[in-house]
Amino acid sequence: MPSHKIERTTEDIKRELTAIFRELKDPRVSGAFLSIVRVEVTNDLSYCTVQVSAIEGLDRAGEAVKGLKSASGFIRRELGRRLKLRHVPELIFNATDSIAYSANISRILRSLDVSESGDDSDA
């Protein structure tokens, strides 16, 4: 049964991090369209790994992660205040290019769909 608590806490952290990111004034964070791809919390709630992606690509996500790391104290304090956690996990931010990767796959699939639709109508 403890896994349900971890899953619920993970979802709560993800929801609150999304709200906190919107409030940050750091231009590295506020200037990018960020998305939280995945949040993983250890069983003892000591660490929380946050995968962040930006529509502009991996370089922009990496720059935003630098801003998030510099604001991690503020973010952690806000999490503790909003979620009423006894122990707020240490936040580890990682950049990922999953949004750009999925956009590229989508673009490739659309280009294949156009060529296939022309072939199907001839048959």
Q: Which CATH code of 3.40.50.720, 3.40.50.300, 3.30.300.20, 3.30.2270.10 fits the domain covering 2-122?
A: 3.30.300.20
Q: Which two tokens stand for residue 39?
A: 């949040």
Sequence-distant (6+) residues with CB within 8 A of 114 are none
SS3 (DSSP) at 2: helix
Output the tens digit of pLDDT for each of the chain's 123 residues: 457 888 998 999 999 999 999 888 888 888 778 889 999 999 888 999 999 998 888 888 899 999 999 999 999 999 999 998 888 999 999 998 877 777 788 888 888 866 555 555 554
Helix axes 72-83, 2-23, angle to 10 degrees: 120
Burial class of residue 49 in the structure, from the number of CB atoms within 10 Å of its CB (0-12 exposed, 13-18 middle, 19+ buried): middle
SS3 (DSSP) at 92: strand
SS3 (DSSP) at 88: coil
Give the separation between CA 123 and CA 118, rounded to whole angstroms: 9
User: In DSSP terms, which residues pair with 40 in a beta bridge?
Assistant: 49
Question: pTM of the prediction?
Answer: 0.76
CB atoms within 10 A of CB 90: 13
